[in-house]
């Protein structure tokens, strides 16, 4: 029904425009310019993995619900030797973006509800809210004629989450991100990189690089591959914290960080600074304004030096 209404309104507006412009010499150039401006990005697709940091470079208005299911490694390396971990983490999140114009938008990149299911005595099963992050995205280059855009995003992460699920600590953080997208017919390449800068020494300072490639076989099947590299620039101070988990010892004994999902503030994270993951999946366009996505992600680095054994991500993007 929404599509029928939109078609009717579009027809009325088009008829009005044709009537207003009838008899003028500017009709054909105006139509050609509009077609060029809107056609260059109409098939652009949002990346799926690393969703709190890796975004589409185009400012748009959209709602983006996400579900993530992550298996934790059975054992992880720590300063006291290998210890059992196991269990799962589920995340239910809702991102949104409001475009003020073709170059500038308001983005809400992190929120949601975390369900931590412990698989060993190291953890306790807990639930709670994630931190909230929001800010602005601006397209420095917006070139529909060549289907290319380059944008910068700045968001502030508020420490509003629950300690039970490794959130809500520190004085917040500033995320600075640059992203780009380029399309050639059905092929899309996208990339992003940035840093997370906490406003205190308690948490780690991180950087990331992400890449995406997809090809539209049909609108219903758009296979994709993505790669993410998370890097610890400087470790946290290791202060005992999150006392419902391992009696607060995680920041002191962990030799890695939580990267896109968590930030332990681990003082020994410099021992395993890097987490590299790869993902395969697809997007499916349900209609002109809605598509769904699925990605399966695994670490390319040793899973005992991180908190991911594998991860399933499902999302929906409603653009309007």
pLDDT in tens, 187-240: 999 999 999 999 988 899 999 999 999 999 999 999 999 999 999 999 999 888
- pLDDT value of position 10: 40
Q: Kindly state the average pLDDT of the residues 244-271.
A: 90
Q: Is a pLDDT exceeding 50 seen at residue 107?
A: yes
Q: Which two tokens stand for residue 115?
A: 């369900």
* pLDDT, tens digit, 9 for 90 and up, residues 148-163: 999 999 999 999 999 9
2 part of a folded domain:
yes
As a whole number, the mean pLDDT across the chain is 88
CATH (domain of 181): 2.40.160.40
For residue 48, being part of any structural domain is answered with: no
Q: What is the pLDDT of residue 39?
A: 54
Contact (Cβ atoms closer than 8 angstroms) between residue 95 and residue 109:
yes
- Shared domain for 19 and 96, answered yes or no, is no
**H or E element in which residue 17 lies:** helix 2-21
Please give the pLDDT value at position 201.
85
How much is the pLDDT for 6?
Answer: 40
- Looking at residues 42-65, what average pLDDT do you find? 96
What count of other Cβ atoms lies within 10 Å of the Cβ of residue 202?
17
Residue 47 lies in a domain: no
Q: 243 and 109 in one domain?
A: yes
Both 184 and 303 in a single domain? yes
Residues 150 and 1 occupy one common structural domain: no
Residue 74 shares a structural domain with residue 18 = no
Which residues constitute the domain of residue 132?
56-319
Say yes or no to pLDDT of 59 above 60: yes
Is residue 244 one of the residues assigned to a domain? yes
What would the pLDDT profile of 215-229 be if each residue is shown by its tens digit? 999 999 999 999 999
**314 and 281 in one domain?**
yes
Which residue in this structure is represented by tokens 């929906």? 316
Provide φ and ψ at 22, rounded to 5°. -55, 135
Q: Is residue 45 part of a domain?
A: no
Rounded to 10 deg, the angle between the 27-39 and 2-21 helix axes is 150
Rounded average pLDDT over 259-275: 91
Is residue 26 one of the residues assigned to a domain? yes
Whether residues 16 and 71 share a domain: the answer is no
Say if CB 214 and CB 45 are below 8 A apart. Answer: yes
Could you read off the pLDDT of 277-293 as tens digits, one per residue?
A: 999 999 999 999 999 99
pLDDT above 70: residue 63: yes
pLDDT exceeds 60 at position 261: yes
- CA-to-CA distance for 24 and 8, rounded, in angstroms? 25
Residue 49 is assigned to a structural domain of this protein:
no
pLDDT category of residue 252 using cuts at 50, 70 and 90: very high
Give CA–CA dist 138/59, Å, rounded: 7
The structural domain count of the chain equals 2
105-134: average pLDDT: 93
Please report whether residue 137 resides in a domain: yes
Instruction: Looking at the structure, tell me whether residues 169 and 283 fall in a common domain.
Output: yes
Cβ(267)–Cβ(241) below 8 Å: no
**pLDDT category, 82, cuts 50, 70, 90?**
very high
Which 3 state secondary structure label does DSSP give 29? helix
E strand intervals along 47-103: 62-71, 75-76, 83-84, 87-99
Q: Are residues 189 and 66 in the same domain?
A: yes
Q: Is the confidence at residue 7, as pLDDT, over 70?
A: no
Backbone phi and psi for residue 42, each to the nearest 5 degrees, phi listed first:
-65, -20
Each as own residue / partner, the long-range contacts of residues 138-145 (CB below 8 Å, 24 or more positions apart, any chain) are 138/59, 138/103, 138/104, 139/57, 139/58, 139/59, 139/102, 139/103, 139/104, 142/58, 142/102, 142/103, 143/40, 144/36, 144/37, 144/38, 144/39, 144/40, 144/41, 145/36, 145/40
Residue of 299, 314, 315, 221 lying closest to 260 (CA atoms):
299
145 shares a domain with 29: no
Select, from the ranges 21-25, 31-35, 234-238, the one with the highest average predicted confidence (pLDDT). Answer: 234-238
Residue 9 confidence (pLDDT) above 60: no
> Do 15 and 74 fall within a single domain?
no
Q: Are residues 133 and 8 in the same domain?
A: no
* Rounded CA separation 232/259 (Å): 8
pLDDT digit string (tens) for 174-185? 999 999 999 999
- Over range 265-271, report the average pLDDT: 93
């Amino acid at each position: 029904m929404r599509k029928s209404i939109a078609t009717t309104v579009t027809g009325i507006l088009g008829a009005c425009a044709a009537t207003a412009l009838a008899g003028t010499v500017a009709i054909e150039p105006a139509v050609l310019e509009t077609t060029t401006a809107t056609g260059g990005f109409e098939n652009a697709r949002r990346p799926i993995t690393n969703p709190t940091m890796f975004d589409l470079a185009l400012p748009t208005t959209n709602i983006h619900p996400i579900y993530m299911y992550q298996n934790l490694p059975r054992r992880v390396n720590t300063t006291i030797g290998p210890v059992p971990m196991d269990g799962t983490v589920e995340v239910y999140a809702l991102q949104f973006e409001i475009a003020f114009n073709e170059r500038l938008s308001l983005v809400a990149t992190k929120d949601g509800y975390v369900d931590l299911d412990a698989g060993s005595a190291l953890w306790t099963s807990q639930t709670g809210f994630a931190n909230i992050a929001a800010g602005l995205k601006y397209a420095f280059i917006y070139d529909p004629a060549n289907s290319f855009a380059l944008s910068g995003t700045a968001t502030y992460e508020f420490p509003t989450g629950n300690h039970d699920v490794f959130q809500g600590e520190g004085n917040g953080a500033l995320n600075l991100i640059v992203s780009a997208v380029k399309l050639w017919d059905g092929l899309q390449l996208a990339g992003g990189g940035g840093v997370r800068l906490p406003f205190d020494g308690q948490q780690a300072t991180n950087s990331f690089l992400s890449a995406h490639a997809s090809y539209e076989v049909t609108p219903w099947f758009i296979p994709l591959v993505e790669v993410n590299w998370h890097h610890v620039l400087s470790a946290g101070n290791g202060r005992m914290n999150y006392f419902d988990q391992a009696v607060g010892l995680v920041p002191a004994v962990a030799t890695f960080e939580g990267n896109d999902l968590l930030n332990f503030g681990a003082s020994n994270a410099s021992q395993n600074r890097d987490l590299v993951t790869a993902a395969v999946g697809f997007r499916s366009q349900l209609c002109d304004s809605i598509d769904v996505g699925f990605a399966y992600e695994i670490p390319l680095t040793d899973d005992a030096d991180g908190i991911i054994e594998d991860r399933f991500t499902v999302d929906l993007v409603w653009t309007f």
